[in-house]
């Protein structure tokens, strides 16, 4: 076997191994699961669709259990899964179970994006795939035919005045960067992003803040090492504005292209301080929207994913997200 050239690990436990011959071995991933006509626990329906063949972009769509005569439109959530940009999937068990619960609780239509993963497909490709999907969703606001590619769920039930984006961990980072892009570029049909939630988002930088590890320990963190693996050509490295919103040359957060923002953090998460700091940056920027910080104390990073049972704290988070997605 070819020797390992790089290993991305957290607390000594590897996420991925990259070999000299280019092979990538993913060591931590939840299994892929199929969509469901009707989830037995929540009644939520899901299906997989192809958005683009070149590049290859797909998604899993979710719809809550609705009465047959349903005419009321639903908020739309475009969701980005986590996994350090290099593991997990829109089709994974973790993302699927979470979205079944959230879609049922919030009564929203959701689009979970299957973006390309690093290191085979390094950033910024995940951002580009996610933006292309957001544009595809927005294009459904136009009543004209989409060359036969209009999805009936979005066309019939989607309320394009209530379009949201959100994600967990790396997905929260994607949501931030798409909100910034939406502030600069027009979405199809003139659709606006109403709100964004960033759940335990991945932000970092070259210098520790607040309670983060200091000195050599800081440079040994997964958060520090991962960026070079997933975006080796990033200008400015770990201080690139896409991962460090206060990095050199970063655009003002006053340009966020949404009207409200929900930051979710967990008390025991190493990324917690960055989330709180991000909210401070947004408030100091003069952004005209509404920003709220929601913290669940005593919990680890993305505690709500992979939990087969709904603990009280998982329920608390789901209810807060659902009240945001209105």
Q: What is the pLDDT of residue 5?
A: 84
Residue 144 inside a domain? The answer is: yes
pLDDT grade for 12, boundaries at 50, 70 and 90: low
Structure tokens at 65: 């259990």
Residue 235, Cβ neighbours under 10 Å: how many?
A: 12
Q: What is the pLDDT of residue 199?
A: 98
Q: What's the mean pLDDT in 211-231?
A: 95
Q: What's the mean pLDDT in 73-90?
A: 97
Residue 24 inside a domain? The answer is: no
Residue 29 inside a domain? The answer is: no
- As annotated, the active-site residues are 169, 269
pLDDT in tens, 19-61: 988 899 999 889 999 999 999 999 999 999 999 999 999 999 9
Length of the chain: 326
Name the domain count of the chain.
1
Residue 287 inside a domain? The answer is: yes
Q: What is the pLDDT of residue 70?
A: 86
Residue 202 inside a domain? The answer is: yes
Q: What is the pLDDT of residue 192?
A: 98
Average pLDDT, the chain: 94
Residue 9: pLDDT over 90: no
Residue 6 inside a domain? The answer is: no
Residue 27 inside a domain? The answer is: no
Residue 238 inside a domain? The answer is: yes
Residue 2: pLDDT over 70: no
Question: 111: domain CATH number?
Answer: 3.40.50.1820
Burial category of 192 from C-beta neighbours within 10 Å (exposed 0-12, middle 13-18, buried 19 and up): middle
Residue 322: pLDDT over 70: yes
Residue 266 belongs to domain spanning? 34-325
């Amino acid at each position: 076997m070819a020797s390992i050239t790089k290993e991305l690990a957290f607390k000594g436990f590897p996420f991925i191994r990259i070999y000299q011959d280019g092979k990538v071995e993913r060591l931590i991933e939840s299994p892929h699961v199929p969509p469901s006509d009707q989830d037995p626990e929540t009644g939520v329906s899901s299906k997989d669709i192809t958005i683009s063949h070149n590049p290859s972009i797909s998604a899993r769509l979710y719809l809550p259990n609705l009465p047959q005569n349903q005419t009321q439109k639903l908020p739309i959530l475009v969701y980005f899964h986590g996994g350090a940009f290099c593991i997990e999937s829109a089709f994974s068990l973790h993302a699927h179970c979470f979205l079944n619960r959230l879609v049922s609780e919030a009564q929203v239509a959701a689009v979970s994006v299957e973006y390309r993963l690093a290191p085979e497909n390094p950033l910024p490709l995940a951002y580009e795939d996610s933006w292309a999907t957001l544009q595809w969703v927005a294009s459904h606001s136009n009543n004209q035919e989409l060359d036969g590619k209009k999805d009936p769920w979005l066309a019939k039930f989607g309320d394009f005045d209530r379009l949201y984006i959100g994600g967990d961990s790396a997905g929260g980072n994607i949501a931030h960067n798409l909100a910034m892009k939406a502030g600069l570029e027009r979405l199809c049909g003139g659709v606006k992003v109403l709100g964004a939630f960033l759940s335990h988002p991945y932000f970092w930088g070259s210098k520790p803040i607040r309670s983060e590890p200091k000195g050599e320990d800081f440079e040994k963190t997964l958060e520090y090492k991962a960026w070079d693996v997933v975006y080796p050509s990033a200008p400015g490295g770990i201080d690139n504005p896409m991962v460090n919103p206060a990095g050199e040359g970063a655009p003002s957060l006053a340009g966020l292209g949404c009207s409200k923002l929900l930051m979710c953090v967990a008390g025991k998460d190493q990324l917690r301080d960055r989330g709180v700091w991000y909210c401070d940056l947004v408030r100091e920027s003069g952004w005209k929207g509404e920003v709220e910080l929601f913290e669940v104390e005593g919990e680890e990073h993305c505690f709500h994913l992979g939990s087969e049972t709904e603990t009280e704290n998982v329920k608390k988070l789901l209810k807060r997200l659902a009240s945001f997605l209105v």
